[in-house]
Amino acid sequence: MNCCGPNADAALSLPSAAARGPSREELALSSRTLPGGMRQTDLSVPGVHCGACMTNIEAALGRLDGVDHARVNLSTKRVSVRWRENAGAPDIAEALGRLGYESHLFEQGADDKDETLAELIRGLGIAGFAAGNIMLLSVSVWSGATDATRDLFHWISALIALPALAYAGRIFFRSAWGALRNGRTNMDVPISIGILLAYSMSLYDTANSGPHAYFDASASLLFFLLIGRTLDHVMRERARVAVKGLARLAARGATVLNPDGSSAYLPVSDIKPGTHILLSAGERVPVDARVLKGRSELDCAIVSGESDPVAVETGAALRAGTLNLTGPLTIEATAAAQDSFLAEMMRLMEAAESGRGGYRRIADRAAALYAPILHLTAFLTFIGWMVAAGNWHQAITIAIAVLIITCPCALGLAVPIVQVAAARRLFENGIMVKDGSAMERLAEVDTVVFDKTGTLTLGMPRLVNAGEVSPEALALAAAIGLHSRHPISRALAEIPGEKPAKEWAFDAVEEIPGFGLEARSGTDTYRLGRAAWALPVANGATGTVLSKNGTRLAEFIFEDRLRAGAMAAVSALRDKGLAIEIVSGDRPDAVASVAAALGIDQFSSGVLPNGKVARLEALKAERRKVMMVGDGLNDAPALAAAHVSMAPASAADIGRSAADFVFLRESLSAIPLALATSSEASRLIRQNLILAIVYNAVAVPIALLGYVTPLVAALAMSGSSVIVIANGLRLGTGKTRSPRPAAGQGQPFSTKEAMAS
Amino acid sequence: MTGLLFLLPVALLLGGLGLAAFLWSLHSGQYDDMDGAAERILVDDD
């Protein structure tokens, strides 16, 4: 068990802004109170992936002051820590950071135990128990038990089936009742009617010592259908948990300066307009605000789509959600949290979401057609036999046989089993699917709309002229760059394979917001930053310069880079005949150069959030089915408005929760892969529906003529279910390797602009 | 036939025991962390 380089599982390449993890104040704010003066904090730690990580973390956290108990859950990649209240919040995030793990807080509240799943699994257990035992008794009856023995077996079956129906069946009865009350019909209506009628008819027969009883059919029907229901639920839940484990990009609280000079850490919801807030470098702006004091640069990529940091000074207006990069600021809140930019996006999203409500899932559409036909056939059978033979008992028995044999067992399994197999394949490739309907919608898409910053590009500068700079200068720049959060400094500090060769011991490193970094070592002064500032005479040099006592050591050129696989993904989509478009909030020239690099003709720039929604509405009016791919806060309404949407793991929280698909890896090859898997899944679903129809075409005439005994019904039902499941699982076995370009091969494109502060 | 009087309750009881054991294990959170449990068995606690 020495597999562990933390984060070796590069699946989660999150923006480094979140790398620091939640502060102690945030931890305290989000913890739960337990009896006995204890508090519990739950953290998501995506880097945990083996037994060694588990023991390391548990041991390290257990040693912290005040920590009573720490336990890692490897399946959900979470750590829950119990600590004593009187000792204050332990610095869990820092301890995890020292071990090399990122940690994030996730939304509390909605996170309690999954009651629905527990109910489904309990129902499954009970239905399975009942089906198994009744089947044993039924087999004895079919093998020739007669008279009193047969009646005894039937009675016992009835006894076992009753609680199973009452407990496991209510999941279906509830949904069927809900549909009927609203004047609709869904798949659960024929299921419920079939099960209940079969049970009561069999009870009547048993009381009259009849030869046939359908207790086994009703119990095993429940069992099979519950399998489908449970799989469907598990799939959705897994995606939800995985997405929730990602970093929160909204501030949870802020350090508030009271008029008397003291400061306190308050939750965002308690901040009122006029409150003074201390915002240190690396924090996100909690609410819309104005700068009172200080000078810094803000990363607005996730809010507006602008790729370059924006310099702010006293008086500048800040929007909630932007990240303070370089200097501490004192700001004054201008709006409460519920009136801030973030909340405005939420409202836009709710308004936009109605567009998707019209979609009905394939299974429901099939049920809407199938259920009336089913009821009609059973009813006509009853009438027909009444007229022909005049024996109401016989007529009802045959009508029930028709209901049972046609009961949409295969349908109930056909769709979820395929979608679960497809979701599993996507999951293995780092793509989370919210639910089955998303996959059905994705298969219909004919237009793809991309956001630029953070989606097509990484939104982070990379050094492009590393070859022209001496290794020593590069190491020096990296050592200085370590001291700042500015994207350029981070890019320098993270140059792969160029770790600082020797420890540079600086006496002092100072960040001058808007200009760069100044480091002092003995009598030497190094400056890393804007050319005009680092050099006494900026003789033609632009961009970022490293200088020693005013003499130029090196000049660095940075470019934003396309996400890995962007080129391949776009051309794969184009080959499939999809229309592609960029809608970005960034400057026209930046958008144009990305569009040119990718060969996309349709693009618009400087688009506001409601402009994005308007563009999607326009496409919808042209009867296009649009997939939106975006990451920012400003994309969230558009993500909600699109027919189907996709977001990278680095997206803003509300964008991630609005998107149907979230891909965890950096590469955009996730998009063609998801598309291919979805269309394959929809092909298999259609096959399964056809199989179910063929089965009915064969079985219904036999049932109509009254040849279906309980034995035949049991065989036919299990047979059709097994065929449908086997067909659905073909998706999981065929390991189609989709195009996966070599990781990390982002293509630079040509905006030769130096991204100095 | 008298064998049935004896065998039937036994069969149902055993089945019921299995079901009860399953429901208990579910309730006590034994399926909460399947991957973790697989790893923990290899960890030496001393």
Sign for the pseudo-dihedral over CA of A526, A530, A534, A540: positive
**In which band, very low, low, confident or very high, does the pLDDT at A89 lie, cut at 50, 70 and 90?**
confident
Same domain for A484 and A449 = no
Of A105, A129, A152, the residue at which a domain comes to its end is: A105
Assess whether pLDDT exceeds 50 at residue A169: yes
B19 in reach of chain A (CB within 8 A)? yes
DSSP conformational letter for A453 = I
How far CA A263 is from CA of A255, A258, A279, in Å, comes to 6, 6, 12
DSSP conformational letter for A632 = S
Same domain for A119 and A85 = no
Q: Is residue A220 part of a domain?
A: yes
Same domain for A277 and A146 = no
Residue A124, token pair as written in the block: 């499954």
Assess whether pLDDT exceeds 90 at residue A350: no
Same domain for A259 and A229 = no
Same domain for A589 and A544 = no
How far is A632 from A302, CA to CA, in rounded Å?
A: 4
Residues forming beta bridges with residue A645, ordered by sequence position: A628
DSSP conformational letter for A83 = E
- Of B1, B19, B36, which is closest to A149 when you measure between CB atoms? B1
A152 in reach of chain B (CB within 8 A)? yes
A159 in reach of chain B (CB within 8 A)? no
pLDDT at A268: 79
**Which of A5, A105, A100, A95 is CA-nearest to residue A50?**
A5
Q: Is residue A658 part of a domain?
A: yes
CB contact under 8 A, A75 and B16: no
Assess whether pLDDT exceeds 80 at residue A250: no
pLDDT at A161: 93
Which residue, chain included where needed, has tokens 């002064």? A525
- Of A55, A74, A129, which is closest to B19 when you measure between CB atoms? A129
Number of domains composing chain A: 5
CB contact under 8 A, B39 and A152: no
Same domain for A324 and A220 = no
Q: Taking CB atoms and an 8 Å cutoff, what residues of chain A touch B39?
A: 1, 50-51, 54, 74
Assess whether pLDDT exceeds 60 at residue A734: no
Name the average pLDDT for chain B.
Answer: 83
Assess whether pLDDT exceeds 80 at residue A1: no
**In which band, very low, low, confident or very high, does the pLDDT at A541 lie, cut at 50, 70 and 90?**
low
**In which band, very low, low, confident or very high, does the pLDDT at B45 lie, cut at 50, 70 and 90?**
low
b/e map A370-398, b = 16+ CB within 10 Å: bbeebbebbeebbeebeeeeeeeeebbbb
Least confident range from A73-77, A497-501, A737-741: namely A737-741
Of A530, A556, A582, the residue at which a domain comes to its end is: A556
Residue A436, token pair as written in the block: 């089955």
Can A188 be counted among the known catalytic residues?
A: no
Assess whether pLDDT exceeds 50 at residue A13: no
**In which band, very low, low, confident or very high, does the pLDDT at A732 lie, cut at 50, 70 and 90?**
low
Top-ranked range on mean pLDDT: pick from A82-96, A153-167, A547-561, A601-615: A153-167
Catalytic residue, candidates A299, A451, A631, A660: A451
- CATH number of residue A440's parent domain: 3.40.50.1000
- Of B8, B36, B42, which is closest to A1 when you measure between CB atoms? B42
Assess whether pLDDT exceeds 50 at residue A6: no
Same domain for A299 and A260 = yes
CB contact under 8 A, B19 and A126: yes
Q: Is residue A735 part of a domain?
A: no
pLDDT at A449: 93
Residues forming beta bridges with residue A494, ordered by sequence position: none
Nearest CA distance, A743 vs chain B (angstrom)? 27
Residues forming beta bridges with residue A298, ordered by sequence position: A310, A324
Q: Is residue A717 part of a domain?
A: no
Least confident range from A40-54, A98-112, A249-263, A476-490: namely A98-112
How far is A554 from A259, CA to CA, in rounded Å?
A: 47
Top-ranked range on mean pLDDT: pick from A274-278, A561-565, A751-755: A274-278
The secondary element (H helix, E strand) that includes residue A691 is helix A670-704
**In which band, very low, low, confident or very high, does the pLDDT at A358 lie, cut at 50, 70 and 90?**
low
Task: Mention every residue, 6+ apart, whose C-beta is less than 8 A from residue A453.
Answer: A301, A305, A306, A307, A459, A560, A584, A585, A586, A631, A632
Q: Is residue A1 part of a domain?
A: no
Q: Is residue A156 part of a domain?
A: yes
**In which band, very low, low, confident or very high, does the pLDDT at A675 lie, cut at 50, 70 and 90?**
very high
How far is A89 from A105, CA to CA, in rounded Å?
A: 14
A160 in reach of chain B (CB within 8 A)? yes
Assess whether pLDDT exceeds 90 at residue A741: no
How far is A181 from A201, CA to CA, in rounded Å?
A: 25
Same domain for A586 and A439 = yes
Same domain for A122 and A90 = no
Same domain for A153 and A54 = no
Task: Give the range of the structural domain holding residue A453, as residue numbers without chain letter.
Answer: 429-458+563-677
- CATH number of residue A309's parent domain: 2.70.150.10
B25 in reach of chain A (CB within 8 A)? no
Provide the phi-psi class of A476: left if phi over 0, else alpha when psi is between -120 and 50, else beta: alpha
Nearest CA distance, B34 vs chain A (angstrom)? 6
Q: Is residue A142 part of a domain?
A: yes
- CATH number of residue A487's parent domain: 3.40.1110.10
pLDDT at B28: 85
Q: Taking CB atoms and an 8 Å cutoff, what residues of chain B touch A133?
A: 11-12, 15
Same domain for A596 and A528 = no
Of A310, A329, A348, the residue at which a domain comes to its end is: A348
A51 in reach of chain B (CB within 8 A)? yes
The model carries a pTM of 0.74
Same domain for A311 and A275 = yes
**In which band, very low, low, confident or very high, does the pLDDT at A357 lie, cut at 50, 70 and 90?**
low
Better-predicted residue by pLDDT, A169 or A536 = A169
Q: Taking CB atoms and an 8 Å cutoff, what residues of chain B touch A152?
A: 4
Q: Is residue A731 part of a domain?
A: no
- Of A72, A122, A136, which is closest to B23 when you measure between CB atoms? A122
Which residue, chain included where needed, has tokens 């960034």? A586
The 10s digit of each residue's pLDDT in A581-631 is 999 888 888 888 889 888 888 898 888 888 888 898 899 889 888 999 988
